[in-house]
Structure 1
Amino acid sequence: MPNILWTVLVAAATAVVTAFAVGMLATPRMEARKKRLGDVHAARDTFSASMTRIVSACSLLQRIPTPAADDPDWTPVMRERLQAERNRWLQQLDDATVWLIDNMATYAGSYPASHLTQFAVEYAGNARMVVLSEREETTKVELLLALTVPVQRQFFGWPWSRARHMIADRQVFGETVARISGEPATP
């Protein structure tokens, strides 16, 4: 009987020491890691949402142009409302690109491949510069769409779509960046 009691006491003491050690050493590290990974995934989700917002706002701006000044079907009130809505869409573009620049280190640095990190950084910088530029609104919208669609597909598209369009997406992106910077596109 004393052997059984001793075995039970040693087992209980071992369990207590192990639980205490895990609780004091491993659990805090795992909780901190969980928070960091959660932050990275939240940033990636917002990266995706920002690109979706850019595509959506650009599409709306293209599809719903400002009516001609002499169009009799538009009242001054409706013109004012439409202009307010277009200004709101332009503000969405500004807000989305500000977030892309401000949080670039979090989402871009989270990808394991350096070419993806570089792609995300280059996209964010160029998208923000397009919004800040003095280009015509229609040109800005066109450039933002040309930048965003290939990047969005490479980061958030279906795996078969990413592979299938990888070279074409990089080429379109490179041509758009060359157009933004005023350099001639290289074949």
Structure 2
Amino acid sequence: MKTHGDDILEDMCDFSETHLKSLVTQLEPSLVAQVNHCLNHPLNKSVTRFEAKYHISVYEKDCSHDETLLTFAKVKFNILQRLHQTEIGSITKWWKKSNFEQKVPHARNRIVECYLWLLAMSHLPEYSNGRIIVGKLASVIALLDDTYDAYGTFEELQLFTEAFQRLTWFKVHHIFEFFL
């Protein structure tokens, strides 16, 4: 949780990392793997959904695990995974229905990439509709990025940018209805 220039937390992180690395030689192999994983993939810099799967597998190998708790964790993980699959399926259907491959042939289908950005921000089920809407929006933004990066000439892109700048709020509102 440190920020650049936060000397106290930087010192604490360095201290913790140094001591954890020195403990590695004294720990049993399963704990060594966990410590190394945590040092290489700190929770605050990881995608929660990916880390959940890792920690479930680690807990499952622990001989003192609670079978009921493990079952609930797996069920919850699978339910959320199914929700995420449904969301990305919804975005994919929208993309195909919009016929972007035909209308904008230079565009890359970056739905999964865009969706993973959103999943990294929040995996919670109550934000499902938001992930779907913003996933569609992020896909269109990626399409525009591809247009600027690989397709238009400088003059065409200047005209394109000016057209965007002339959009009124009313027109933007109708554009966003396209995503619903």
Q: TM-score, normalised by structure 1?
A: 0.30
Which structure has the greater CA radius of gyration?
A: 1
Q: TM-score, normalised by structure 2?
A: 0.31
